[in-house]
Amino acid sequence: MKKSIETLIGEMKTKMSGYAVLLQYRFMNLCIKAEPAALLAISVIDEEGEEKDLESVASACLANDYQFAIYPHDSKMVFAISKGIKHAHPEFKIDVKSEENSNDSGEDENKYLLCTMPEVNKDRHDSLTDGVGMLYDQCKAKLDANHTIYKSRLTTKLLGSSKEDAKEAEDKLEEIYNKHDEICLQYKDAKLKEIEEAYQRYLKEQAEKQTAADEKAAARGENAGQAFNINQEDE
């Protein structure tokens, strides 16, 4: 295979790999669980008006599967960091917390931000599902467009090549396209599964809460009935 043809195929592979990675990153920012990659989108404006990434002004860790703990390097940055998080992820619930070893003075040096992922109720389930479909369709369109472009460019490059070389190059190009097409579809299916599982978990929790409330109400009614009977007997 000619060097120029190998270069052309390698160029297409790099582009398609980039589209797949970008799709994965965008799916991570549709947060169901606390995804560390979601923090990369956060920028913070410091006191001098300079824009900085979150990593330069705070330390972050996973508190659990559904929460980030953000520890400012400087106590004065608590509000600015909270504002930056809210701008990048308005869906996050942000609470200012005090560390357990905090003193009683109320100083900010022991404050941190606890970011909680929102529950996946019916509305969020539907909006997330639509978002996944939109992002996947955009990525798929780019894959298909580049496949067409590079297929045409390859045809031109193959003029004068042997049938064997032409078939090898064409097969390689199709292999790369099909591989990345499948990768993107897998990302989509995995995200939809994650959304559905979170929604089913939400429904289960709501059902359990309702059952507990019904049992509590029934117990109150039973106790009230017993008290009424006792009063009647006393009369």
| 176 and 152 within one domain | yes
Distance of alpha carbon 141 from alpha carbon 10, whole angstroms? 20
Q: What letter does residue 71 receive in the DSSP assignment?
A: E
Residue 228, in any domain of the structure: no
What residues contact 184, with CB distance under 8 A and at least 6 apart? 19, 20, 23, 136, 139, 140, 143
Distance of alpha carbon 119 from alpha carbon 31, whole angstroms? 10
For residue 234, what pLDDT is reported?
54
Residue 233, in any domain of the structure: no
Backbone dihedral angles phi then psi of residue 64, each to the nearest 5 degrees? -165, -170
- Do the beta carbons of residue 28 and residue 135 sit within 8 Å? no
Place of tokens 């993107």: 184
The CATH number of the domain holding residue 198 is 1.10.132
| 56 and 22 within one domain | no
For residue 108, what pLDDT is reported?
45
| 188 and 108 within one domain | no
Listing DSSP states for 39-59 in one string gives: GGG-EEE-TTS-EEEHHHHEE
For residue 93, what pLDDT is reported?
95
Closest alpha carbon to 115 in 79, 78, 69? 69
The CATH number of the domain holding residue 72 is 3.30.1360.40
**Tens of pLDDT, residue by residue, the chain (235 residues):** 788 999 999 999 999 999 999 999 999 999 999 999 999 989 999 888 899 999 999 999 999 999 999 999 998 899 999 999 999 999 999 999 987 665 555 554 589 999 999 999 999 999 999 999 999 999 999 999 999 999 999 999 998 889 999 999 999 999 999 999 999 999 999 999 999 999 999 999 999 999 988 888 888 776 655 554 555 555 5
Last residue of a domain, one of 81, 116, 151: 116
Distance of alpha carbon 145 from alpha carbon 174, whole angstroms? 13
List the domain range (segments joined by +) for residue 148: 3-27+122-223
Residue 21, in any domain of the structure: yes
For residue 233, what pLDDT is reported?
55
| 206 and 135 within one domain | yes
- Do the beta carbons of residue 110 and residue 101 sit within 8 Å? yes
For residue 102, what pLDDT is reported?
53
Listing DSSP states for 137-195 in one string gives: HHHHHHHHHHHHHHHHHHHHHTTT--HHHHHHHHHHHHHHHHHHHHHHHHHHHHHHHHH
| 78 and 163 within one domain | no
Distance of alpha carbon 48 from alpha carbon 108, whole angstroms? 20
CB burial readout 79-105, b (16+ within 10 A) else e: ebbbebbeebbeebebeeeeeeeeeee
